[in-house]
Every structure is written in C-alpha cells, then in structure tokens.
Chain A
Amino acid sequence: MSRKATLPVLLFVALLVISLVLTTGIGSVYIPAGQIIRILLYHLPFMQHWIVPDWSGASEQIMLRIRMPRVVLAMLVGAALGVAGAAFQGVLRNPLADPFTLGVSSGASVGAAVLIFTGYEYSLFGSWTLPLVAFVTGMITLYGVLMLAREQGRIPTNSLILSGVVMQSFLGAIVSFLASMSEGSVNEIIFWTMGSLSLRGWPYVVVMLPYVLIGILFLWTQSRAMNLLALGEKEAAHLGLPVDRTKTLVLIVATLITAAAVSVSGVIAFVGLVVPHMIRLLIGSDYRLLIPLSALGGGIFLMWADTVARTMLSPTEIPLGVVTAFVGAPFFAYLLHRYKKQRTD
C-alpha cells in the first residue's frame, strides 16, 4: 500500500472507533464516552490496578451485555455488506450490483428462515449451520439471477437488476409465508424482510466473525484482479488474469459474507450500494483502497443506522432495513440517473 493510501485508511479507522464509542453510549440510558472507554480499559488484562470503577454496575451491564454486542454486530454486518457490494460491482462490472439488488440477500434469508422455522438451525454443524445454509441458498439465487439476466453471453446492467428484483420479491414472499405459518408474529416477518439487530447478543458475533473476517481479507487480495477487470475481461486475460476462475471465486466469497450477515440480521437493503459508491466519490475506483474502506465505511454506516433504528421512536424500534432504504433508495435513483446520462453522453 502506498503512502497516499495510508491517510484515508487511518482516518476511517479513527472514525470507526469514535462511532463505536459514541453509538454505544446513545440509548434510553445515556453512557458518557469517557465512561465507556474506562469500562473497556478496565476489562483489559492488568488494567484493574490503574482504573478505579466509579460507574454503576447497571450501566456496565447495559453497555457490555446489550449495547456493545449489538453495535459490534452492526459493524460486522455493515462491513460484510459494504465489501460484498464492492466485490459484486467489481466482477460483474455493474455499478448497480449489490447483495440486495442481486437478490442474494433474499436468497440467503430463505435458507436461514427455513432452518429457523423448522427448528433445524443447530443441526449438522452446530451454530455454523445457519450461515452455511444461507450461503447455499444465496449461491443458488445468484446463479439463477445471472442465468436469467444473460443475453448472448453478456449481462446488461438493466436486465441484471430486473432479474434481481423479480427473484427478490418471489423469495421475500416465501420468507413472509414461512413466517406466517409459524406461530411467530408479524414482527418476525418484518425482522427477516426488513432486517433488524434487536436482541442479538455476543454468540451471534462469534458465529459471524470468522466468515466476515476471512471473506473480507480474501476479497482484499483480489483487489488488483478487480482493477484489471475494470479494463475489460479480454484486456484482463491478456494481462495474465484467469478471468473465469477469479470471477467465480469472488462471487462465491461475496455471497458467503452476505449470507453470514443475513443469517444474523435479515435482509438489510442498499448498504452494499451506498457505501462503495460514497467511497468511490471520495477516493476513486482503486479496489486496493475501495475494499478496505468499504469494510470500514460499511461498519460506520450501519452502526449509525442501527442507532437511529433503535432510538428514534424509542421504545419502539424501526426495522433497520427501513432506515437504510430511506438513504439507499434515493441514492440508487441518483446512480441510475447518473449512469443513464453517462451512456447517452
């Protein structure tokens, strides 16, 4: 990484840490930032000698048991969706591709929902089962969407999005139907189709972390390949890139981290679209920088979006996907307009 790249990365890491502390503090019980930092430090090894606990046990419990896992989960889900979006855009060379518009999120949610409503969520591989099954159904959906959109070996931007939308509404209907069949409430349906992070504790973080971490690192190693693909598939092949193998691998891994995110949070729309494009506007399209910044930016974005979701109408929660759609859908419209203009110019 060049020196030019270090500054934005450091800036985003700083923003991420600040957001983590601030959003942990915000809620029905306000916890000041200074106190959060001291509680955190207190729980590091050997720090007990230096810090005198002057806070109430209740706020420590609220912070560590309720707020923190949720904020960290928002960060991981955001990072996963942000990077998956950038990767889908990179290998499909389609600016409007993201886990949601491609129907991959909905596909993954079908797998997860079937398992949960039939009570098999801990079969086979214990707590790892859910993300893996969500991955399989997400992969099948992606394959279906790509096949549906293909016209003579090419995949036009618009028909890809259309296929995604068709798949999405069909799969969304399946999930809603399953939720209605179980004794679950309307809330459960909303959870799956609009996304939510309520009542998610540390175990979910543990399940998600390895998938997301390894997935993002892998996609980062493919960033130079995605830069080459921007030149065109033929050009990339002439420069020594095994194009088909690279595309397949990236699609698989992007689907895997999407599935990991969806199996804890349901379908959260547009994160993979808004975040990478914001980053593109800031630093350009170099994937070596775009991938890590989409991870950090996605984390920051979703931590704040979830804070809005849980506090704005407190004690009622707004589904997280509603918040992201309020930002994401107009942004999608803007992108559509911009690329239309670019094509006619």
Chain B
Amino acid sequence: MTPMRTQQDQHIQNAAPVIELRQAGKAYSHKPVLQDINWQVQTGEYWGIIGPNGSGKTTMLQLISGMERTDTGTVLLEGRDISSYSRRRIARFTAVLGQEGLAPLHYPVREVLTMGRYPYQSWLGRDELDTADELIDQIMERLDLRSLADRPLDQLSGGQRQRVAFGKVMAQQPKLLLLDEPTTYLDIAYQIHFMEWLDEWRRESGITIIAVLHDLNLAARYCDRLLALNEGRMIQTGTPQQLMQEETIRSLFQVEPAIVHHPDIHVPQLLLKRQ
C-alpha cells in the first residue's frame, strides 16, 4: 500500500530514533503518573506496552502523540522536541487508534476514510497525493469495506466500525502507529483478523508500532519488544521471551502465572492458576 521505503531512507531514519523519551515524567494534580522514563523506539520496531491498570500506559501514549506535555524531561520525535511540531505535522507522522472505535455518526464509510487524509489536504480540500482516491479504494478492498462504502457509520456494527477506524488510520499513511487496546471490544475472530491485517501492513510499509495491550498473549505473539510499566515507572524492556517470565508477571500483576509455549509459533503464552 505505502511503497516500501528504500534502503537509503531507512538509513537516514535510523539516524534518530522515531521516538525517544528522556527522563520523561507527568503528574496530574501533583500525583505522579509517569516518572523518569528513558526509552528509545527505532524505525520498524513493534513495541507492546504492558502493565496493570493505572500504571501509566495511556498517559505514555498521550505524551508520544503530543496530546499531553511532559512535566519533566522531554519527548523527541525523530530527534526533535515534540512540542515544536504543529498538530498537522504530527498527524502526518503519527496515527492513533483507540479502543472505542468511531462514534455512530451519520457519515458514509468512504467519507470517514477520506477524513484520514485531512493532514494532507489544502484548505480547499485538495489532497497533495494525486492518487488519494485509489488509496482509499485499495484500503476498502483490503479491509472488506467495499460493500459498505456508502453505508453510514450509524448502521454498522461495533466490529465494522472498528474496521473503518482502522482503515482511516491506514489512509493517514503514518510512519508511527499508536494503538490503545484496539481489540478490547472485538470478538476473538476479529481480534486475530485485526492483528493479522496490522502485521501485513507493517511488513509492507515498514511502519513503527507502539501498542498498549491488555492481552499479554496477543502482545507476546505479535510484538518484537515489550515494555513493562508499574506505578508510573519503567520496570523492564525486552523481547517477549525475556519479559514473559513467571517471576516478572507475578510481581507486575500480582497473579499466579503458568507460562507455556505456543505449539506452532514458539512464543511464550500465559495461563493463570486459581488462587
């Protein structure tokens, strides 16, 4: 969909991390939610952020998407302070997909997908990409949305709306994708579909992904690297094999885990014991 970046591009982008947090901290009404986070994300990596409720995962995404400012430290987007970017400039780089999907509005699917092109449109609505219409067609083809193109969102199911939300994010052609528990309201079939589409898109476009995931098994299957947060502090980073240890999970979530290996794809998977 997005053309593969050339080697040279890759090289230039590798010069600065896509996202870097330096001693980043955030507090709400004097209560620290995040403290002293030092973290680098390189081009093309697929990170999962895990941790119990209230550990600061969503706040972390808000700092990275530029929606919130840090109280201490800095967030760098491609080596530059994120607060120096305009909203439009950030939107051309970073797309965000949340758990709620889209509100049931009376807008047709095709129009909503086109809204993903907003950061590339002039004030008259002209897209700087001449082939924007074809791009939207390809996305609809790919996500099985063609038959729904003219249907308004308020006539779609929650799962279909989440697919439209995903399509809109694809239309945005970001280099960095932030996911905030995107599969929460999807049934297991849709969850797998969703994660597979994402994986395919990633292989084609080389997009960098940072996902907040509640489901540790999904995180272990799809992410290259995991970051564990607890009470606003970074506990550990590493591969799923390194992080999905019984000891780590026990101390992070206060549960009794049993780690098994997935029979097909050799990643750690988590079972819970009764307490």
**Chain A residues with a Cβ under 8 A of chain B:** 221, 224, 227-228, 230-232, 234-235, 237-243, 284-286, 288
Give chain B residues whose Cβ lies under 8 Å from the Cβ of A232. 103
Give chain B residues whose Cβ lies under 8 Å from the Cβ of A221. 123-124
In the bound complex, do residue A238 and residue B96 qualify as a contact, i.e. CB atoms below 8 Å apart? yes
Give chain A residues whose Cβ lies under 8 Å from the Cβ of B172. 239
In the bound complex, do residue A240 and residue B91 qualify as a contact, i.e. CB atoms below 8 Å apart? yes
Neighbour of B107 across the interface among A230, A237, A242, CB < 8 A: A230
Give chain B residues whose Cβ lies under 8 Å from the Cβ of A227. 107, 111, 115
Give chain A residues whose Cβ lies under 8 Å from the Cβ of B261. none
Give chain B residues whose Cβ lies under 8 Å from the Cβ of A231. 102-103, 105, 112, 115
Residue ID in chain A nearest B94 by CB atoms: A238
Query: In angstroms, how far is the closest chain B Cβ from the Cβ of A225?
Result: 9
Contacts known (A228-B115, A228-B118, A286-B111); A240 close to B103, Cβ less than 8 A: no
Contacts known (A227-B115, A239-B118, A240-B118); A285 close to B106, Cβ less than 8 A: yes
In the bound complex, do residue A224 and residue B121 qualify as a contact, i.e. CB atoms below 8 Å apart? yes
- Inter-chain CA distance A232–B107, complex, in Å, is 13
- Inter-chain CA distance A231–B104, complex, in Å, is 9
Among B82-90, B200-208, B227-235, B245-253, the one that faces the other chain is B82-90
In the bound complex, do residue A224 and residue B118 qualify as a contact, i.e. CB atoms below 8 Å apart? yes
Give chain B residues whose Cβ lies under 8 Å from the Cβ of A235. 98, 102
Give chain B residues whose Cβ lies under 8 Å from the Cβ of A241. 87-88, 118
In the bound complex, do residue A237 and residue B87 qualify as a contact, i.e. CB atoms below 8 Å apart? yes
Query: In angstroms, how far is the closest chain A Cβ from the Cβ of B179?
Result: 12
In the bound complex, do residue B107 and residue A286 qualify as a contact, i.e. CB atoms below 8 Å apart? yes
In the bound complex, do residue A284 and residue B119 qualify as a contact, i.e. CB atoms below 8 Å apart? no
- Inter-chain CA distance A120–B90, complex, in Å, is 50
Give chain A residues whose Cβ lies under 8 Å from the Cβ of B90. 240
Contacts known (A224-B125, A237-B67); A242 close to B86, Cβ less than 8 A: yes
A-B contact pairs, 22 of them (CB 8 A): A221-B123, A221-B124, A224-B121, A224-B125, A227-B107, A230-B103, A231-B102, A231-B103, A232-B103, A234-B67, A238-B95, A239-B119, A239-B172, A240-B91, A240-B119, A241-B88, A242-B88, A243-B87, A284-B106, A284-B107, A285-B105, A286-B111
Interface assignment of B151: CB less than 8 Å from any CB of chain A: no
Residue ID in chain A nearest B93 by CB atoms: A240
Query: In angstroms, how far is the closest chain A Cβ from the Cβ of B84?
Result: 15
- Inter-chain CA distance A232–B124, complex, in Å, is 22
- Inter-chain CA distance A234–B105, complex, in Å, is 16
In the bound complex, do residue B116 and residue A239 qualify as a contact, i.e. CB atoms below 8 Å apart? yes
In the bound complex, do residue B107 and residue A285 qualify as a contact, i.e. CB atoms below 8 Å apart? yes
- Inter-chain CA distance A49–B90, complex, in Å, is 63
Which residues 11-49 of B sit at the A interface, judged by CB distance below 8 A?
none
Query: How many positions in chain B have a CB within 8 Å of any CB in the partner chain?
Result: 30
Interface assignment of B59: CB less than 8 Å from any CB of chain A: no
Residue ID in chain B nearest A221 by CB atoms: B123
Query: In angstroms, how far is the closest chain A Cβ from the Cβ of B81?
Result: 18
- Inter-chain CA distance A333–B53, complex, in Å, is 43
Query: In angstroms, how far is the closest chain A Cβ from the Cβ of B209?
Result: 15
Query: In angstroms, how far is the closest chain B Cβ from the Cβ of A339?
Result: 13
Give chain B residues whose Cβ lies under 8 Å from the Cβ of A288. 125
Query: In angstroms, how far is the closest chain A Cβ from the Cβ of B37?
Result: 21
Q: When each residue 171-190 of chain B gets 1 if its CB lies under 8 Å from chain A and 0 otherwise, what string results?
A: 01000000000000000000
Interface assignment of B65: CB less than 8 Å from any CB of chain A: yes
- Inter-chain CA distance A235–B102, complex, in Å, is 9
Interface assignment of B92: CB less than 8 Å from any CB of chain A: yes
Query: In angstroms, how far is the closest chain B Cβ from the Cβ of A162?
Result: 24
Give chain B residues whose Cβ lies under 8 Å from the Cβ of A242. 86-88
- Inter-chain CA distance A235–B99, complex, in Å, is 12
- Inter-chain CA distance A285–B112, complex, in Å, is 12
- Inter-chain CA distance A284–B153, complex, in Å, is 12
In the bound complex, do residue A240 and residue B87 qualify as a contact, i.e. CB atoms below 8 Å apart? yes
- Inter-chain CA distance A243–B88, complex, in Å, is 11
Give chain B residues whose Cβ lies under 8 Å from the Cβ of A228. 115, 118
Given contacts A238-B65, A288-B125, 19 further A-B contacts (CB under 8 A): A224-B125, A227-B115, A230-B103, A238-B96, A239-B116, A239-B118, A240-B87, A240-B90, A240-B92, A240-B118, A240-B119, A242-B88, A284-B106, A284-B107, A284-B152, A285-B105, A285-B106, A286-B107, A286-B111
- Inter-chain CA distance A243–B118, complex, in Å, is 13
Query: In angstroms, how far is the closest chain B Cβ from the Cβ of A290?
Result: 12
* Residue of A238, A239, A242, A285 with most partner-chain B CB within 10 A: A238
Give chain A residues whose Cβ lies under 8 Å from the Cβ of B115. 227-228, 231, 239
Query: In angstroms, how far is the closest chain B Cβ from the Cβ of A242?
Result: 5
- Inter-chain CA distance A227–B86, complex, in Å, is 20
Give chain A residues whose Cβ lies under 8 Å from the Cβ of B121. 224
Give chain B residues whose Cβ lies under 8 Å from the Cβ of A239. 91, 115-116, 118-119, 172
- Inter-chain CA distance A228–B118, complex, in Å, is 9
Neighbour of B88 across the interface among A224, A234, A240, A285, CB < 8 A: A240
Give chain A residues whose Cβ lies under 8 Å from the Cβ of B65. 238
Give chain B residues whose Cβ lies under 8 Å from the Cβ of A286. 107, 111
- Inter-chain CA distance A234–B91, complex, in Å, is 12
- Inter-chain CA distance A235–B91, complex, in Å, is 11
In the bound complex, do residue A238 and residue B105 qualify as a contact, i.e. CB atoms below 8 Å apart? no
Give chain B residues whose Cβ lies under 8 Å from the Cβ of A285. 105-107
- Inter-chain CA distance A232–B106, complex, in Å, is 14
Give chain A residues whose Cβ lies under 8 Å from the Cβ of B106. 284-285
- Inter-chain CA distance A93–B121, complex, in Å, is 23
Residue ID in chain A nearest B105 by CB atoms: A230
- Inter-chain CA distance A132–B111, complex, in Å, is 38
- Inter-chain CA distance A232–B104, complex, in Å, is 11
